Structure 1
Amino acid sequence: MKHRPFRLLLATAALLGMATAYAMSPDELAMTRNVAERGNASAQLLLAIAYLNGDGGLARDARLASHWFEQAALQGNGYAEARLADLYEEGLGVELNLPLAADWRERAARRGNIDAQLKLGRMYLQGVGVAQDLARARNWLQQAAEGGDSEAAYLLSHLYKHGLGGPQDRTVASNWLARSAEQGYLESIKLLHAIKSFGRHYDRTLSGDALKHLAADGDADAQYQLGLHYEAGSGGERRDAAQAAAWFQRAANQGNEQARHALINLKSGSEAANINR
């Protein structure tokens, strides 16, 4: 029973297919090395991470980390396969080799590793390390998005919106974009601006800073939606007919028909109110 905590640590690593940010003591490290050298994949994975992070008094050594990741990966450990792919992509501890990174990444992706699915989807999307293949990109991004990855959902939305790698479906595109936003991915400034690449058609209403950023940057649909908020006094905005008219006008000037009709209705309503006074 002396080594029960250590056995539980190995069992947890085996069940999860990865090691968490657990810092090993020198005694645990010695036991891990012993078990790893006997061929235990979970111990090999823990030893690889110890070398990568410098745990248990070890100096960081990416070369030895890559060696032990490979030993665990050769036994089918999905997390080790994914991390080994990252090392080959970065040239960390091994010679940079993008095709080999893609190969290890695909092995991990097929075992259900969401991070590997996302990164493999990006590789096929960009044609990095593999021949560009939008159908495969869509497939892997779909799996990662269904697993809860917000970046995959964002990229998948783009593919569905423009019919890349498969049929075009704007409703599905909007749903994936909304899911990504709900997961917080669109909070970054980079992605707020990237939304513009989706065009001017949104099936779900944006609000708050995201909407104002897009409107200020010239997105006609966002300008129309912001005008609606000012007209109705919704979305955190006070009712302001002048502001509503101004945003409707800006959107209408870009050819947004909904905004043009909204502006006509707003002016008609104002004129009727003046007559009835």
Structure 2
Amino acid sequence: MAPPLPPRSGLRHRMPALLLALACSSALAGPASLAQLQREAQQGSAAARYELANLYSLGTGVALDRSKSLQLYEQAAASGHGPALHALSRHHRGQTGGPTDLPRALELLQRSAEKGHTPAQLELAFAYLNGTTAAPRDAAQAFRWFGKAASGGSVTAQCMLADFYRDGTGGAPKDPKRAHTWYVKTAGSAEPCASKSQYELYRLYEAGSGVRRDLAEATRWLQESALAGNPMAQKTLGQNYARGHGVPQDDTLAQVWLKRSREGVAPHDDHEHEMRSFSGPRMAASPLGR
């Protein structure tokens, strides 16, 4: 039988912070907070203008007013506010129902990324990785922005950065040991790319690439990835059961895992980038690809 797996408790550990964020969001929509935001916005606070724009864009605590929201985003962006620049980039991408202006969207996204806004850095990295009508493919730029987003705490960027070091692309040195470090860091997260990191750890330990070869450790990571729903891991685990590689030979379990690899996940989740990367369905397409 397969060895027991460690419990996945990342979501449980994040619940207090999530509840606190929801509570803060509710408080923000209250009359006192709204009045304070309006005063600070009138006094020129870019942060207050951005928060107020968010309220108007959603109709949270105020009447829905996308025109007012856009005006406030523009005022905040004029002060170099990174999140506001990012919001304007999404607007010019057509995500608020208005006309698209992809060159302008890319310019704003770049400015937001340069201000250190991590979500913008991540989107810019994917734009360069995949190539778009506004941003030609540029692996070196993708590597650069994934690195910055990873430093800002983006787990998806950290997963992608590991792939660059695994393959030695985009100007990154081929360094499986460094790739291993990033995969370990992300394998226990609650992000969609965690199961891909687990599968890559299987590959590293199975091959002895960047780490000492350890088939038992490789199998542990493979089983965790397969249980998390990664179709590549499920297929590999099924094949390993069929030939008794790292696990006892078992034709029944082989068929179970091979079948699950074909049925358990939506088709786009089984998609691989040219670099064999997996960031999850939320980032499957380039943000400026329209």
Counterpart residue number, 2:272: none
Q: 2:183 aligns with which of 171, 177, 180?
A: 177
Report the CA distance shift for 1:200/1:50 in structure 2 as closer, same or farther (over 3 A). Answer: closer
CA distance in 1, matches of 2:161, 2:240: 22
Closer/same/farther in 2, CA of residues 66 and 54 from structure 1, 3 Å limit: same
Aligned-pair distance for 1:122? 0.8
Structure-2 change in CA distance of 1:138 and 1:60 (3 Å): same
Percent sequence identity over aligned pairs: 27
Residues 181-215 of structure 1 deviation map (CA, whole Å, 9 limit, x = unaligned):
12233577xx55x987x698324731544146645
Q: Which has the higher contact order (CA 8 A, sep 6+)?
A: 2
* Higher Rg of the two aligned structures: 1
Q: CA deviation at 1:25?
A: 3.3
Q: Specify which of 180, 201, 204 is matched with residue 202 of structure 1.
A: 204
Q: How do residues 128-207 of structure 1 correspond to structure 2 at under 5 angstroms?
A: 128=132, 129-166=134-171, 167-186=173-192, 201-203=203-205, 205=218, 206-207=221-222
Distance 1:187 1:142, change over 3 A: closer
CA distance in structure 1 between the aligned counterparts of 2:32 and 2:178, rounded to whole angstroms: 53
The amino acid of 2:104's aligned partner reads: L
Q: Which amino acid aligns with 2:188?
A: E
1:134–1:195 Cα change, 3 Å: farther
| Counterpart code for 1:218 | T
Give the 3 Å change call, closer, same or farther, for CA 221–106 of structure 1 in structure 2. Answer: farther
Root-mean-square deviation (CA), in Å? 3.6
Compared with structure 1, are the counterparts of its residues 215 and 134 closer, same or farther at alpha carbon in structure 2 (3 Å cutoff)? closer
Deviations 1:223-262 (A, max 9, x none): 69x843x4xxxxxxxxxx5449x98xxxxxxxxxxxxxxx
What residue is the counterpart of 2:214 in the other structure?
Answer: none
Structure 1 residue aligned with 2:92: 88
Moved more, 157-166 or 32-41: 32-41
Distance 1:186 1:34, change over 3 A: closer
CA separation in 2, counterparts of 1:30 and 1:97?
34
Structure 1, unaligned stretches of length 5 or more?
A: 1-19, 231-240, 248-277
Distance 1:219 1:138, change over 3 A: farther
Hey, what's the Cα distance between the residues in 2 that align with 1:50 and 1:117? 24
Corresponding position of 1:265: none
Deviation, structure 1 residue 67: 1.8
Q: Confirm or deny: 8 A CA contact 1:125 1:134 kept in the other structure.
A: yes
Q: Which runs of 5+ in 2 are unaligned?
A: 1-23, 206-216, 255-290
What SS is found at the alignment partner of 2:135?
A: coil
The residue aligned with 1:269 is none
CA distance in 1, matches of 2:240, 2:151: 28
Pick which of 73-82 and 25-34 moved more.
Answer: 25-34
Quick check: which one's helix share is greater? 1
The question of whether the paired residues in 2 share the 8 Å contact of 1:109 and 1:117 is answered with yes
| Conserved? CA contact 1:200–1:220, under 8 Å | no
TM-score (norm 2): 0.60
Change (3 A) 1:217 1:208: closer
Aligned mates of 2:43, 2:232 — CA distance in 1: 58
CA distance in 2 between counterparts of 1:136 and 1:220 reads: 38
Q: Does 1:97 align with 2:97?
A: no
